[in-house]
Amino acid sequence: MAVYFFLYFYACLLAIIEPRIKGAFIWHYLWFLIFLFLIFFIGARFEVGGDWDSYYRIYTVFDHIGFTLGILRSDVGYMVINWLSFQLGAGVWGVNTVCAAIFLYGLRKFSFSRTRPALVLAIALPYLIIVVSMGYTRQSVALGIILISILQVEKGQLFRALLLIALAATFHKTAVLLAPIAVLAVAKRSLFTYSMLFALIPIAYLIFLDGHVDRLHYIYIEREYNSSGAFVRLSIGVVAAIIYLLFLRNYEENESKRRLWSMFSIASLLLLAALPFSPSSTLLDRVAVYFIPLQLYVFSVFPENFKGCFRTISVLVILLSYFATLLIWLFYANNSQYWIPYQNSIFI
């Protein structure tokens, strides 16, 4: 458990001193150290994460069947990495390391596009890095790619954004949910835009979701999976949404960016509103993962609205709030037992 606290305090320290050292050699060196550490921290973990056994079974499928049948067992992009790791004899650790590198690359690109990259990292650590990247491996890779696609949407590059979303969907099919948002954010509101959107939805469904809806319905709806921390996590998203809509929306420099984060905010509000009526809070919780970038953006930008000591205080409040979420999850979450104790194959 101590390693999780160490990581978070390291990110907090970097976030606090960042304004004074940003751009200096030591700043880049400290970033290099933590990202190198995180790649091996996530990639070389051993029996850590709620889905460890499931992912291990996916890897061993190539013991019995060939490439063509193997890649059809799960999301194609993820299975290709499994096959390559199997051919190289790198084991499940090879798979996890590559997946960690992709996720962290996307997070780093997104972080460095913000005013306070280290604050973005600190916000991401308690849930996105510790829980999602080590528990929902396929979805973490999809999210890492989605973070890069968000940067393209902000620039108005729709075609590149859609290509990246399609790539993300080869790791977790639910990533296609972001495609309509990208279209509405970038394209002008016209008959062509809505025609494109209506054409995109059935195409995306046929390519990525057809044949998998029944399985998803069984897992999340019929079995009524529920996440004990869903309300807390969705509520944090709502706080970010309210702050954006009330304080930050009118300061955006371009329309694509304003539309994008406005839709992320509305989606976050709707997810919490749907919680009392959903037969599976886990389903909403997993969909909400794609909207966590709103928190990374809003809470890393919000302190810039203050000056002097008030800016520092706002940063500390954010850091303490996310530290509280880490504590609550470690000590009270139903599934945190799969993360404790942390084990790494390098030291076993």
- pLDDT tens figures, 91-101: 999 999 999 99
CA dihedral 180, 202, 271, 224 (to 10 degrees): -160
- Pick from 191, 188, 164: nearest CA to 178: 164
> What is the distance between the alpha carbons of residues 347 and 273, in angstroms, rounded to a whole number?
45
Judge whether residue 191 has pLDDT over 80.
no
- State what percent of residues in the chain have pLDDT above 90: 64
pLDDT band at 217 (very low <50, low <70, confident <90, very high): very low
Inter-residue contact 262 to 282 (CB < 8 Å): no
Residue of higher predicted confidence among 272 and 192? 272
Q: What pLDDT is stored for residue 279 in this prediction?
A: 75
- pTM attached to this predicted model: 0.91
Residue 252 confidence (pLDDT): 78
Give the model's pLDDT for residue 199: 63
Q: What is the spatial distance between Cα 52 and Cα 335, in angstroms, rounded to a whole number?
A: 12
Domain ranges of the chain: 2-347
Q: What is the mean pLDDT of residues 20-34?
A: 91
Q: Of 182, 178, 183, which is closest to residue 197 (Cα–Cα)?
A: 183
**Mean pLDDT to the nearest integer, 62-83:** 83
pLDDT tops 60 at residue 206: no
Helix (H) or strand (E) holding 108: helix 91-112
pLDDT tens string 37-56: 999 999 999 999 988 988 99
